């Protein structure tokens, strides 16, 4: 395992671009970066810089697309750093669809949106109100699939906007990341319940409890080894689950010092990335204004954010059925704060550490 330090800020989302480079968002600094493995990172400052860039993904047009939750924009950046933005309501997840358009979630507006190649924006209402649509991905059935963090459900939207909602069996599951698996199913993380989920296109759900139910899994990606890889935000770990449900976990190192905030609890001191929580409904403003770097990891009335998994501080990161004491790193220790992850151009797993680095993990 190796670290590439990002001295300019706090990586949140990361994705491999069609140019063979890694692209990442710096959520607190209002920047998007590009890294060719083995070289120094190059960053592009956004204008305005207060948008809180979060999730980033390649588009069908050869550019990278990303959401700015705080700024209410979906933006597009070329390899040379040219940015085009579209005004939308509090976007979080984003993915290219089978129709060549970009699809995104609006977690505070109960909508899924679509941006066509000509820039036309179309919104589709999610029938589950207050469900907080979060991450989304293209499925194998020519539809888009998305998580409903506060609705404990998985949604499917057809290309014509028809919605189907699949309720999860575990209360307080608070799903966040979702990806298409190599088996033709969709795989997702349950940040509130400490589980990995699998749903078939027919809606059949299987859940796999993790060894540490308080680890707060955040993002998930399909690996080149036929397994699924995911981040454990509260435990500072990278996890791997096979199609049969066998789980392996790897500790992630913490860069020091951390640029993401003045303390190890970035969820208290920052306001730029959405927060997902199985308990955020207990706070009158937990999902109504800004987003916290603990994003889909924690939320409380002091953090006001977007998708979250609940909890009070990043060192306590617990919620739903994941509320066991002693989970994750000890309070006061340096945090890695893993968020997004991707399969890099070199075939390794790359993880965005909000503490200030990109971690590279070779697949053995």
Q: Rounded to a whole number, what is the largest CA-CA distance in the chain?
A: 51
- Contact predicate 250/241, CB 8 Å: no
Give me the phi and psi of 253, to 5 degrees please: -75, 155
The answer to whether residue 28 is catalytic is: no
Binding residues for Mg(2+), by number, are 337, 354
Binding residues for substrate, by number, are 218
User: 60-65 long-range CB contacts below 8 Å, 24 or more apart?
Assistant: 60/96, 60/100, 60/101, 61/117, 62/18, 62/19, 64/15, 64/17, 64/23, 64/32, 65/94, 65/96, 65/102
Query: Looking at 28, 44, 276, 339, which residue is catalytic?
Result: 339
Nearest to 341 by CA among 1, 9, 11, 3: 11
| SS3 of the chain: helix, strand, coil, percent, to 5 | 5, 40, 55
Residue 258, token pair as written in the block: 């951390």
Residue 284, token pair as written in the block: 């009158």
Residue with tokens 């179309």: 122
CA 150, 156, 159, 163 torsion-angle sign: negative
As a whole number of angstroms, the distance between CA 227 and CA 239 comes to 10
CB-CB neighbours of 62 under 10 Å: 11
As a whole number of angstroms, the distance between CA 175 and CA 15 comes to 20
Task: Give the number of residues written for the chain.
Answer: 364
Walk across the sheet containing 175-180 and list its strands.
Answer: 175-180, 186-190, 195-199, 205-209
- Contact predicate 73/91, CB 8 Å: yes
As a whole number of angstroms, the distance between CA 274 and CA 287 comes to 8
As a whole number of angstroms, the distance between CA 277 and CA 147 comes to 12
Binding residues, by number, are 218, 337, 354
Q: What angle do CA 139, 143, 84 make, to 5 degrees?
A: 95
**Residues designated catalytic:** 339
């Amino acid at each position: 395992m190796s670290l590439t330090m990002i001295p300019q800020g706090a990586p949140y989302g990361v994705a491999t671009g069609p140019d063979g480079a890694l692209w990442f968002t710096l959520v607190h600094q209002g920047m998007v970066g590009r890294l060719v493995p083995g070289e120094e990172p190059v960053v592009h400052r956004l204008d305005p810089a207060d948008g809180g860039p979060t999730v980033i993904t390649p588009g069908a047009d050869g550019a990278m697309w990303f959401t700015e939750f705080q700024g209410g924009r979906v933006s597009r950046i070329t390899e040379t750093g040219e940015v085009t933005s579209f005004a939308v309501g509090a976007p979080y997840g984003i993915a290219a669809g089978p129709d060549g358009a970009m699809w995104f979630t609006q977690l505070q507006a109960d909508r899924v949106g679509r941006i066509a190649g000509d820039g036309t924006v179309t919104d589709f209402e999610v029938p589950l109100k207050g469900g907080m649509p979060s991450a989304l991905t293209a499925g194998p059935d020519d539809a888009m699939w998305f998580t409903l963090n506060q609705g404990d459900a998985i949604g499917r939207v057809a290309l014509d906007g028809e919605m189907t909602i699949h309720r999860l069996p575990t209360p307080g599951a608070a799903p966040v990341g979702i990806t298409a698996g190599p088996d033709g199913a969709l795989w997702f993380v349950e940040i509130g319940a400490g589980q990995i989920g699998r749903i078939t296109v027919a809606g059949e759900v299987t859940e796999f409890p993790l060894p540490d139910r308080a680890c707060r899994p955040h993002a998930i990606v399909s690996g080149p080894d036929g397994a699924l890889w995911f981040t454990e935000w509260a435990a500072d770990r990278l996890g791997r689950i096979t199609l049969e449900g066998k789980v392996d976990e790897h500790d992630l190192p913490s860069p020091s010092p951390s640029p993401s905030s003045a303390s190890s609890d970035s969820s208290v001191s920052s306001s730029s990335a959405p927060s997902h929580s199985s308990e955020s409904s207990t706070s009158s403003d937990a999902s109504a204004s800004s987003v916290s770097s603990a994003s889909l990891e924690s939320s409380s009335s002091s953090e006001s954010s977007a998708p979250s998994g609940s909890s009070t501080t990043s060192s306590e990161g617990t919620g739903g059925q994941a509320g066991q004491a002693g989970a994750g790193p000890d309070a006061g220790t340096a945090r890695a704060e893993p968020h997004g992850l991707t399969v890099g151009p070199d075939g390794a797993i790359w993880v965005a550490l909000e503490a200030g680095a990109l971690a590279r993990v070779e697949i053995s």
